[in-house]
Chains A and B, each alone.
Chain A
Amino acid sequence: MKGDPPVSSGAHRVRPPRFVVLNPPGRMAYWVQATVLTELRFHGRGGQGAVTAANLLAAAAVLEGKYAQAFPHFGAERRGAPVVAFARVSDRPIERHSQIRNPDVVVVLDPALVELVDVTAGLKPGGVVVINAPRRPSGLRADRVVCVDATRIARELGLVVAGWPVVNTGILGALARATGIVSLDFVVKAIQAQWPGKTGELNAEAARRAYEEAGEC
């Protein structure tokens, strides 16, 4: 009997099936074919609510009758430092549990992160970046970028907590507009379920405004 060799071989690598991307039609929604798995990565700063945004997206998708997962980056995090979170949305049960290396969608809550972090790392060809910024940051290169000024929207609505504009709910409106993976109605429902009352209504309004204002940039 041979010993216990620590072997690993990549010689028989089988190519994964290609992700199905429909050519973006004239309008922005339904960019992603609804029946396939969509994988998303959220970039934010500790305290900005990237994990909550991922969770709300999953909750919205589930309310809409889809299947979803959301998970944080499994490590230590601290306020102000760059953080990431992940989500998957599909029309079928999701059994995949590995980390997301090649997202279809990247969501960026703070435009300054573009200078600090490679936010488009692993982004699939044809993938989209949804960013909280009035215009596309010069260092951001991607096939499709959708901008929304969620910071201004939050300030206009008085959505400021401990000096920080709340941008994680607004950005979900832009995400709904840019990708169609969830509809705005269910984003609003998920937000209202999370924070009943006035807080939920303000955050829902941020999502609605971001949906209206989001645009290719």
Chain B
Amino acid sequence: MPVLTLTGNYAVAHAVKLARVKVIAAYPITPQTTIVEKLSEMVEKGELDAKMIRVESEHSALAAVYGAASAGARAFTATSSHGLLYMHEVLWWAAGSRIPLVMAVVTRAIGPPWNIHVDHQDVMDQRDTGWIIAVAQENQEVLDLTLQAFRISEDPRVYLPVIVALDGFILSHTTAPVEVPEQREVDEWLPPRRQPYVIAPETSIVMGNIAPDEEYYMMRLSMQKAMGEAKRVAEEVDAEYGKVFGRSYGGLVECHRCEDADYYIVITGSWAGDAKEAADRVREQAGVRVGVARVRYIRPWPHERLREILGNAKGVIVFDRAVSFGAKGQLFTDTAASLYDYKVSMRGVIAGLGGVDVPAEDMIPVIMDFVEKVEEQGFVYEPSYWLLPPKYR
């Protein structure tokens, strides 16, 4: 397998090509644009046999690939930030119709004020749509997750669309080594597309018509059940992928030094790498045993996995790069709900909004301050701890 030096966006494009996607539609938005630029280049050069559909908006982009996917084509789109918000309605159409589909979301802050840098507000805003949402930490994982996403989405136990989220600029525009699998290996590993039904001229199917309330309710229940199945499928697919390609990531949650940890950081996305560095340094220099539970799937929420990992924790510190105004960080809320019957100290840190840089040295004081407080007071619950940008501290 060749190792290429690729941006996160190009890693997505390579995965889409390897998955032999047949239809692509997208509308440009920073920092997503270079994914579709690369794909159209691949189509133009004849390296990828796919139809590129030019559209006038993100709403239309997702509608176009939703239509193509309903007709049986493996389809793909990508967007960011305001583009994703503009798509929001169609996200519900795709998930509610149980149409397998994969979309890359290059995470970016939402305006106003205008900001093109990374945070997770855009993707967090899609949690309730019925899409599976996976988040990568590295460019290699971006490629691997994108391939896995097709397999998960098209699994008959699931039949739900999947978002693969990668952090804007931090991954999307940063080059790093990426091992690109051979086409032959991917062809063997990724089965032909499956989906619950196909719209075709010779068949009669009604989509999106009015359903009796009771049927509507039951269809919602089936989505919830499929999300439950998706947890098992995502773990299976990750493990199998590891056997074939030599890389797997721990399924729904990746654990860093969890074996003996007393304190845990819960986090998602690229800055989990910085959190691991912070945990290592705190261990080495302060002797506090800190582990990192990196949430790889924010939907379906890895409730059981996190309960296993965090069950014996003295304290859990959650880093959110988004906020639900008037409530808390979204990861914090879900983590706290999973630990409802555990008497565990928690702090929810809101940081890095709008791309504010949060290196390990900025995480360490917040972790140490929390640890010290827990050791002194026994129980701490601070759901909304805003780690201000350096110039405002």
Interface residues of A (CB under 8 A from B): 1-2, 4-17, 55, 58-59, 62, 67-72, 74, 94-99, 101
Contacts of B272 on A, CB cut-off 8 Å? 95
- Give Cα A1 to B357, complex, Å: 30
- Give Cα A68 to B285, complex, Å: 26
- Is there an interface contact between A59 and B5, defined as CB atoms closer than 8 Å? yes
- Is there an interface contact between A95 and B138, defined as CB atoms closer than 8 Å? yes
Per-residue CB proximity of B205-229 to A under 8 Å, as 1/0? 0000000000000000000000000
- Is there an interface contact between B361 and A1, defined as CB atoms closer than 8 Å? no
B174 interface hit (Cβ, 8 Å): yes
- Give Cα A172 to B364, complex, Å: 35
Interface residues in B129-181 by Cβ distance below 8 A to A read 137-138, 167, 169-171, 173-177
Min Cβ gap A32→B in Å is: 19
Q: Place the interface of chain B in its size category.
A: 35 or more
- Give Cα A55 to B174, complex, Å: 9
Contacts of B167 on A, CB cut-off 8 Å? 97
- Give Cα A164 to B149, complex, Å: 45
- Name A100's closest neighbour in chain B (CB-CB): B359
- Is there an interface contact between B169 and A14, defined as CB atoms closer than 8 Å? no
Interface residues in B280-314 by Cβ distance below 8 A to A read 281-282, 284-286
Contacts of A55 on B, CB cut-off 8 Å? 5, 175
- Is there an interface contact between B177 and A14, defined as CB atoms closer than 8 Å? no
Stretch at the interface among B40-48, B184-192, B384-392: B384-392
- Is there an interface contact between A71 and B393, defined as CB atoms closer than 8 Å? no
- In the assembled complex, 6 residue pairs joining A and B whose CB atoms fall closer than 8 Å, in A order, are A9-B366, A12-B372, A15-B285, A59-B5, A71-B173, A71-B174
- On whether A71 and B369 interact (CB within 8 A), knowing A17-B281, A95-B138, the answer reads no
- Give Cα A101 to B138, complex, Å: 21
- Give Cα A39 to B274, complex, Å: 15
- Is there an interface contact between B173 and A74, defined as CB atoms closer than 8 Å? yes
- Give Cα A15 to B175, complex, Å: 29
- On whether A4 and B384 interact (CB within 8 A), knowing A13-B365, A17-B281, A67-B177, the answer reads yes
- On whether A71 and B282 interact (CB within 8 A), knowing A59-B175, A95-B277, the answer reads no
- Is there an interface contact between B176 and A58, defined as CB atoms closer than 8 Å? yes
- Is there an interface contact between B170 and A97, defined as CB atoms closer than 8 Å? yes
The 3 closest A-B pairs by CB, nearest first: A95-B273, A98-B359, A4-B384
B337 interface hit (Cβ, 8 Å): no
Min Cβ gap B283→A in Å is: 11
- Additional pairs, 16, CB under 8 Å, beyond known A16-B361, A74-B355: A5-B385, A6-B385, A7-B386, A8-B388, A12-B369, A12-B372, A14-B281, A16-B360, A17-B284, A62-B5, A62-B177, A71-B169, A71-B174, A94-B176, A96-B273, A98-B271
